[in-house]
Amino acid sequence: MSGEEFIDEADRSLDRTYEEPRSLAEYVDLVFERPALAAHASKYLLSAIEAAGTRTVIEEGDRKERYRFFDDPHNDGEHAILGNTEVLNAFVDDLRSIAAGRGKDEKIVWLDGPTATGKSELKRCLINGLREYSKTDEGRRYTVEWNVAGASGDSAGLTYADEPVADEDDWYESPVQSHPLSVFPQDVREDLVAELNESLDDHIPVRAESELDPFCREAYDYLEEHYRRQGVEELFSAITDPQHLRVKNYVVDVGRGIGVLHSEDEGPPKERLVGSWMRGMLQELDSRGRKNPQAFSYDGVLSQGNGLLTVVEDAAQHADLLQKLLNVPDEKSVKLDKGIGMDIDTQMVIISNPDLEAQLNQHADREGQDPLKALKRRLDKHEFTYLTNLSLETELLRRELTDETEVWDADSWGELEEWIQEPLTVRVRDENDEVNAKELAPHALEAAALYAVVTRLDVSDVPGGHDLVDKALLFDRGYLQEGDERVDADEFEFTDQGTDGDHGIPVTYTRDEIADLFHREQDRHHADLPVEHVVMPRDILNAMAEDLSTAPVFSNAEAADFEERVVPVKNHVFGEQESDVLDAMMRDKRVDEETVEEYIEHVYAWSTDEQIENDRGEYVDPDPLKMKVFEIEHLGRFDDEDYAGNRPGDAVEAFREDKIITALNRHAWQRRDEEFRVEDVSPKEIPVIQTVLGSHSWDDVKRTYEDFDPRQWDEPPSGTETADLKEKTVANMQEMYDYSEASAELTSRHVMSQVSYKWD
């Protein structure tokens, strides 16, 4: 677009965001048409979250509905919260109870957890989401503004600015986003809200319990006195006449409906909470010997967050304020001064690391005499934990190393697995200020993320015959594939008292270890190769394990425990690399899907005593020779001795029934629609069929390439079968799995070095 077109688009964006101010009567008519626009703070926050919709995720082996709001969709996922879906859902459930007034009104939501678990992202996600929601038609947020110049003839009659202004600038907006309905007297407001809720198609009623803020009350009282002295009979109409009062929409942001108290903010408690008196303004204003609310700054966290959300970040730095917040949620008011109070409608959220809990429990041994007991009773704790999903940890690690922000929303585990295992290129600036590309080989990020996840899992409830890697994969996929059998998560029992995610290697440690590797000489074992830019999975795992003991973030016991857990991760990653190499070596021997489907069709007809329609439209019996050839040559499961001529023996029949027919029926059942029809079922999509037909072994390699010798792999003699096979394998790894030539070379060398030991 041209510069002029960008300007026009910006104009249209602002036109969509803002409306013309309207009278109080017009606002009332509007909310009777759309009652949700009058929502109180917690109801509005809940509506913003729900408006973004949900998606299904698998975490800790269970399917869960996740609110897309926490994916930061309005900001392209930059501050998405990865994982902790159960914690976020509990937070939303609390909001629902608070909004409906079902017993949690006095609670302060407390989000606790170690560093790098997503708490800071939640704050940014809330700010981004609420800001963008307030720009939509269904999320408009309104407040009031006043003009008393027409009543006084003096434009200096109402101000909280440094200098009085005139004309259109004689309008002064409520500094704390007062709700437009708060202008009405209490009895009228109650009747209005009751009638409004009768038309509300929602189980959570609108509440408008707050009175006008002190600044607006000053304007209201000024106008009331002015018109009462003039003997005006319809006093409220005069006070709220459009020349004095109008309702305007505003875009929610920090300072306008969202108050954020940062860890570095300082000042006396009252100043941090509601603001401070401006001495110079007090002297200028004629306040008849009293403090004038027009001379108050209203820049405290509660003032800025009035009408929507108050966030206390790194709450341990503001522990002195928490007790002063005790009565705010239930009384819904604070004081500017001894004689001036202010109603507050805000949802309070405090965010902290575990050190706050230590402060709150410092008097716990005094039991009934604990001076912090009343505060702890009002805190509703939700604990963020480290991620325990491999895919989420991999996604988070990519975000830490790159500028990627897109949220992974895969349609299948296969798609997600590809993202987990794919390579990554990162541009790094060296000591000479030159930018160089560094490659993380396929499975490198997977290895780092899997190791981090494994250190976070509780070993006490791992089922017999399994290890922590199995548990990590189960938490991510929702099932384990054991040979030809699939075991779903609900067949495992994990204790609710487990410590999964409570401790472990944080993503920041992993990120820093990888960053250090970018600046080290890589692959010391193969200095003859020009591959200094490649970081292999074993490089990362070795570095992470070796540096545990010197990292101050871990205790000696943690370092020793985590170091022991690296072995099963190395074994799993090697298995993945070995599978890649085998698939690349046997690529030419892969069976095509048409042949697979033909085999499945014949086996199914054989099992059900049915006939098959051939190319000429004739119905014939299934071909026993075709099935036998497929099972011997492609599956490698049987030999001629397992058949009597072309008739299958008992072992072959059991295989067909148990491994093919049962798997096909199970997959058809899982893929049925409401009318029990199976749409687009491909045999290659069936997990069990994939395992049976898609895997290769070194025995297959021996049988196919009789002169192959893995011990010659590093430098195979030219003209040998090993040399030809290596050339094809390295090329296939690049085409099939996005390896670079260097990473394919290093990976295949590593695999062959292990295979060589057991080749004979």
Task: Please tell me the least confidently modeled range out of 89-98, 306-315, 367-376, 523-532.
Answer: 523-532
Q: Is pLDDT of 324 > 50?
A: yes
> CB-based burial of residue 724 (10 Å sphere; 0-12 exposed, 13-18 middle, 19+ buried)?
middle
Rounded Cα distance between 273 and 261, Å, is: 9
Question: Using an 8 Å Cβ cutoff, are 522 and 531 in contact?
Answer: yes
Mean pLDDT of the 213-241 span: 92
Instruction: Please give the distance of CA 171 from its chain centroid, rounded to a whole number.
Output: 42
341 residue type, one letter: G
Q: What is the pTM of this model?
A: 0.82
Mean pLDDT of the 373-392 span: 87
373 Cβ neighbours under 8 A, 6+ residues apart: none
73 residue type, one letter: P
Render pLDDT for 609-666 as a digit per residue (tens, 0 to 9): 888 888 888 899 999 999 998 888 777 778 899 999 999 999 999 988 887 887 777 6
- The helix, strand and coil proportions of the chain, stated in percent and rounded to the nearest 5, come to 50, 15, 35
Render pLDDT for 94-125 as a digit per residue (tens, 0 to 9): 999 999 887 667 788 999 988 888 888 999 99
Kind and range of the H or E run holding 742? helix 741-755
Alpha helices in 485-589 (DSSP H): 507-518, 537-546, 556-564, 566-585
Rounded Cα distance between 586 and 704, Å, is: 9
361 Cβ neighbours under 8 A, 6+ residues apart: none
Q: Which CATH architecture has domain 35-154+164-382?
A: 3-Layer(aba) Sandwich (3.40)
Give counts: helices (H), strands (E), the chain.
32, 22
Instruction: Please give the distance of CA 233 from its chain centroid, rounded to a whole number.
Output: 58
Question: Using an 8 Å Cβ cutoff, are 541 and 448 in contact?
Answer: yes
From 367, 541, 525, 341, select the one nearest 440 (Cα to Cα). Answer: 541
DSSP-derived pairing of the beta strands 108-112 and 347-352: parallel
pLDDT at 256: 95
- Give the phi and the psi of residue 134 in degrees, each rounded to 5: -70, -10
Structure tokens belonging to residue 511: 């990120």
**Reduced to 3 states, what is the DSSP secondary structure of residue 461?**
helix
Higher pLDDT, 130 or 464: 130
Question: Using an 8 Å Cβ cutoff, are 111 and 119 in contact?
Answer: yes
**Reduced to 3 states, what is the DSSP secondary structure of residue 408?**
coil
Rounded Cα distance between 294 and 307, Å, is: 19
Render pLDDT for 46-69 as a digit per residue (tens, 0 to 9): 999 999 999 998 887 788 999 999
Angle between helices 741-755 and 566-585 (to 10 degrees): 110
Question: Using an 8 Å Cβ cutoff, are 32 and 199 in contact?
Answer: yes
DSSP state of 717: P
